[in-house]
Amino acid sequence: MKTKEFENLDEKGKIMASLYARKNYLNGKYTACNFGIDNSAYDNKGTFYLKTLRMKADLADKLIAEAESQGKNTEDLKILKEIGEKINAAGTPINISEAVAPAIMASLELIAFYGIAVGIWGLVLKQSFLTFGFWGVIAGFLVSLLFVGPVIASQRTKEQVNKMLYGAGSMWGQTAIIIGVLGLIALAVRLIFFR
């Protein structure tokens, strides 16, 4: 493809042109690896999906080069199938909406958790649950905005999204739960011993 024609393509077209121009696409090794590059439904896919496909092609190039450096015959369909299994283990490419929706839900859950957890401390300190809860909501929003939402939304596969959701829940969700549980314990102690 001529440089001028390439420059006139939109981003999706440039990604696809760069994939189709690669040596391992032209020699059929991508097709033999069967990681989805020959899927004809690209027109319905967004740039996010295609960037993920490009990442898989990069991984294919790396694994093929490693196999060749180890003296393996990468013309052998069995070898290419094994490489394809490793590539596909990295996950299925997704559209951006499939990453953003879980990011929003995780963020909303964290906002609610922090709001309730900090609100409980308002009761412990004989203050307003709602006022403390409001500050908890702000804290949850900041945590979500800075650490959770963008990280989850930037993932390229379902598997990566699920790992990040688990990580966010383990790190930030459990922190909110611990704050809330400690608040409940402190509230119980105050109600029992310090009426």
73 and 8, same structural domain?
yes
Q: Residues 189, 104: one domain?
A: yes
- 82-105 mean pLDDT: 83
The DSSP secondary-structure symbol of 46 reads: -
The residue segments making up the domain with residue 110 are 96-193
In the block, which residue shows the tokens 């393509």? 9
Question: Which residue, 89, 105, 123, sits at the end of a domain?
Answer: 89
For tokens 């369909």, the residue is 77
Torsion of CA 94, 21, 43, 5, to 10 degrees: 130
Nearest to 93 by CA among 10, 36, 28, 148: 36
pLDDT of residue 112: 97
- First-to-last alpha carbon distance for the chain, in angstroms, is 81
Asked if pLDDT for residue 42 goes beyond 60, the answer is no
Question: Does residue 100 sit in the same domain as residue 155?
Answer: yes
For the four alpha carbons of 13, 16, 22 and 26, in that order, the dihedral sign comes to negative
Clarify whether residues 28 and 113 are in a common domain: no
**Rounded mean pLDDT, 17-36:** 86
Q: For the chain, give the mean pLDDT.
A: 87
41 pLDDT exceeds 70? no
Is residue 124 within 8 A of residue 185, CB to CB? The reply is no
The pLDDT value recorded for residue 149 is 94
User: How far is Cα 25 from Cα 131, in angstroms, rounded to an integer?
Assistant: 60
The mean per-residue pLDDT over the stretch 152-173 comes to 89
Which pLDDT does position 185 carry in this prediction? Answer: 95
Looking at the fold, whether 67 and 40 belong to one and the same domain comes out as yes
Which of 23, 56, 89 delimits the end of a domain? Answer: 89
Which residues are within 8 A (CB) of 176 and not within 5 positions of it... i.e. 6 or more apart? 110, 113, 114, 116, 117, 140
Higher pLDDT among residues 113 and 33, named by residue: 113
- Say which residue the tokens 């403390």 belong to: 132
Give 35's DSSP letter: S
Whether residues 103 and 189 share a domain: the answer is: yes
State which of 74, 89, 104 marks the end of a domain.
89
